[in-house]
Amino acid sequence: MTASFPLPRADLVLPCLDEAEALPWVLGRVPAGWRAIVVDNGSTDGSDRIARSLGATVVYEPRRGFGSACHAGLLAAEAEYVCFCDCDASLDPALLDPFVRLLAQGRADLVLGRRRARGRGAWPAHARAGNLALARMLRRRTGLALRDLGPLRAARRAELLGLGLTDRRSGYPLEMVVRAADEGWRVAEHDVPYLPRSGKSKVTGTWRGTWQAVRDMRGVLAAPPRPGTAPARDRDRERFDDDRERFGDQDRLDEGDRIDGRERRPEEREPREASRARGEVRGR
């Protein structure tokens, strides 16, 4: 029987570009006690005013780029734990609870949401193809058996800043994983429902946008490990043995995660309550 563990406070970074329609639902799903940091990256639809009226902290980042917005939010964060989520209502911030629990329990250093498409049009073919190609390259580069590069993620603020991330475009989330792997972080995946977004994607809404993002990310993957770090694959077995000794095989997976490539148990599935609630909102 797993003992209850109080949910730590966290800051949630929400990069935002013209997401006025989605903001009310997204901000309404932020876990109680967390601070939402909406990073306005040049919106013209009043997103900043809506976010502020709903209690979010608004940060302005004039330099366009997904990475620019994410990093501005990270710099504005103050909590020990920082989470990231797209601001288009395709992902549910309420599902970040288990991510932060894994961090607080010392069972992972970076937790990523592995997206599971729910609903027609949730994940267009071109976007899925680009993601699969990048995940394959990431596995070769790091040795981690990850299957997605989803934007829903969580880590400790101080450690994230210590990675020295430099990409300010679409490569930012990938660079985070690569640098974390090079530093020996334990990287976990947790399944989350992925639903049709509100409005059109600024990056993966077209084949051209998708492959521009892929090109940005390939540049990140081509960069060699920084001096003083070793390829993650050389540490996988040592980390696995250490985790098994500390937690045991069953307890290690009790949140339904894939951690450093170890698959969660088939009978453990992400609850669908949030997905059903999200579907009701789509009826508007």
pLDDT score recorded for residue 97: 95
Closest CA relative to residue 151, chosen from 83, 208, 252: 83
pLDDT score recorded for residue 213: 67
H or E, element range at 179: helix 172-182
Radius of gyration of the chain (CA): 18
8-state DSSP, 10: E
164 φψ region: left (φ > 0), alpha (ψ -120 to 50), beta (else): left
Angle between helices 125-142 and 207-222 (to 10 degrees): 0
- Record: fold of 10-259: Spore Coat Polysaccharide Biosynthesis Protein SpsA; Chain A (3.90.550)
Let me know: does 147 contact 114? Beta carbons within 8 Å.
yes
Closest CA relative to residue 73, chosen from 161, 159, 185, 9: 161
pLDDT score recorded for residue 281: 44
Closest CA relative to residue 25, chosen from 255, 197, 170: 197
Residue 17 to residues 3, 51, 62: CA-CA distances in angstroms?
Answer: 41, 12, 11
Consecutive 10-residue runs of the chain (284 residues): their mean pLDDT?
68 98 98 98 98 99 97 99 96 96 96 84 66 83 88 97 95 95 95 77 55 72 75 47 44 46 43 46 45
Let me know: does 115 contact 150? Beta carbons within 8 Å.
yes
pLDDT score recorded for residue 14: 99
Q: Model-level pTM? A: 0.76
H or E, element range at 281: helix 273-281
Mention every residue, 6+ apart, whose C-beta is less than 8 A from residue 139.
Answer: 145, 146
Structure tokens at 53: 């009226």
HSE-CB for 123 with a 13 A CA cutoff: 16
Residue 100 to residues 41, 160, 244, 262: CA-CA distances in angstroms?
Answer: 26, 14, 20, 19
pLDDT score recorded for residue 103: 97
Let me know: does 110 contact 153? Beta carbons within 8 Å.
yes
